[in-house]
Amino acid sequence: MLLFNPSPGQIVDRLSILELKLDHASRQAWFAIQGEIKACQSALETKTPSVEKLAVYQVLSYQLREQNKKQWAFENDVRRAIKHLSDPPSYEELLDLCTSAKETHLGNEVRAKLVAQIDALFDTVTEGKIYQ
């Protein structure tokens, strides 16, 4: 039973994250990730943009993959900064952590916009980011 119907942008986003995970996965996890990649590819096959929008779709998909690579690095920077904090943390350590956290946040904003742009090519409306 399918619990949700992901948008094309959400599928492309998930697919690019899974492809990044493959580079870091154990052998056992690799097979599970491959199964999810196949499911995403299958779901994406049913959602093809019109011919006139295909080139834009390909560019946006590439940009989203590249942004997810940056996000992976930003999130690793945050993890590394937290792992190496002294007790009490120095000003420089806190500044590095805040800078990495800010880059992660801003990168997620870019990522959300790319997902929305892909969805717009399919005339799909998603909920977007919700903040207070």
Q: Going residue by residue through the chain (132 aa), what tens digit of pLDDT does each one get?
A: 455 788 999 999 999 999 999 988 888 898 899 999 999 999 888 887 888 899 999 999 999 999 999 999 999 988 988 898 999 999 999 998 999 899 999 999 999 999 999 999 988 877 666 665
Task: Answer whether 80's CB lies under 8 Å from 97's CB.
Answer: no
Specify the pTM: 0.85
Look at residues 110, 119, 116 and name the one whose alpha carbon lies nearest to residue 128: 116
Tokens of 15: 């697919």
Distances in Å between the alpha carbon of 81 and those of 31, 42, 73, 84, 88? 31, 38, 12, 5, 13
